[in-house]
Amino acid sequence: MQQLVQISLLGNRLTGLIPEELANMSSLTSLVLEHNSFSGNLPAALGNLPKIERLFLNSNNFTGELPETFARLTTLKIFRIGDNNFTGKIPSFIFQNWTNLKEIRTVASGLSGPIPDIGSSGNLEFLMITDLNGVESTFPRLSNLSKLEYLILRSCNLIGKLPTSLENMPKLETLDLSFNKLSGEIKISLPDVKQLFLTGNIFAGAVPQWILNTNRKM
């Protein structure tokens, strides 16, 4: 089945380990295994898929760390691993090596922070990381994100002040930083953001005028 380019097994009741034979499908561009009951560690051999663009592994029972071989998945554009039981930190290769990445969703994946620097991911449009384990950390470095429209870092153990780099995202529409420990005054200005969620932090001072002048969700 060398010519198979897409596999979707979404929403079944499949169990057991991911078959390593999937890694032999060199033409595969899309592998969708979400909403099943797969378990165990991810096969390191999946890092050998030379054309993969979409890898959806969310809503299973996967464990262990993300294999280092995944650093080779440089064609990847969409990556979803939420609702699993992974361990270890978010690998830095996600944002360093996957330069074609447009969307990443790690919602309650089991992974720990801190969030690596995101400055090399200039093609990112949708970034969603939530419910991280681990210690408190300051904001990751955010630069070269001119295409980013959705930035969701909810419950990621973030501390400190809002970085001014948030002002350098001209396409940003949704910003969700809820349930962290961000503090200080809100000194940045994001007049073009359409949805703003800052619930459950420890900000102080007055509400900025740019928020009061628009209809936004907080």
Q: What is the DSSP string of 118-185?
A: -TT-TT-SEEEEES-BS--BPPPP--S-TT--EEEEESS-BEEPPPGGGGG-TT--EEE--SSEEEE-
| Parallel/antiparallel/unpaired status of strands 150-154 and 103-107 | unpaired
Backbone angles phi, psi at 153, to 5 degrees: -125, 70
| Cα-only R_g, the chain | 18
Other CB atoms within 10 Å distance of the CB of residue 139 = 21
Q: Positive or negative CA dihedral for 160, 162, 166, 167?
A: negative
C-alpha to C-alpha distance for 29 and 127, rounded to whole angstroms: 21
C-alpha to C-alpha distance for 176 and 172, rounded to whole angstroms: 11
What's the pLDDT score for residue 3? 85
Q: What is the pLDDT along the chain (218 residues), one digit of tens a residue?
A: 568 999 999 999 999 999 999 999 999 999 999 999 999 999 999 999 999 999 999 999 999 999 999 999 999 999 999 999 999 999 999 999 999 999 999 999 999 999 999 877 899 999 999 999 999 999 998 888 999 999 999 999 999 999 999 999 999 999 999 999 999 999 999 999 999 999 999 999 999 988 888 665 55
C-alpha to C-alpha distance for 218 and 211, rounded to whole angstroms: 9
| Domains, in order of start, for the chain | 1-91 (3.80.10.10), 112-218 (3.80.10)
| Parallel/antiparallel/unpaired status of strands 126-130 and 54-56 | unpaired
Amino acid at 37: S
Q: What angle do CA 180, 118, 151 make, to 5 degrees?
A: 50
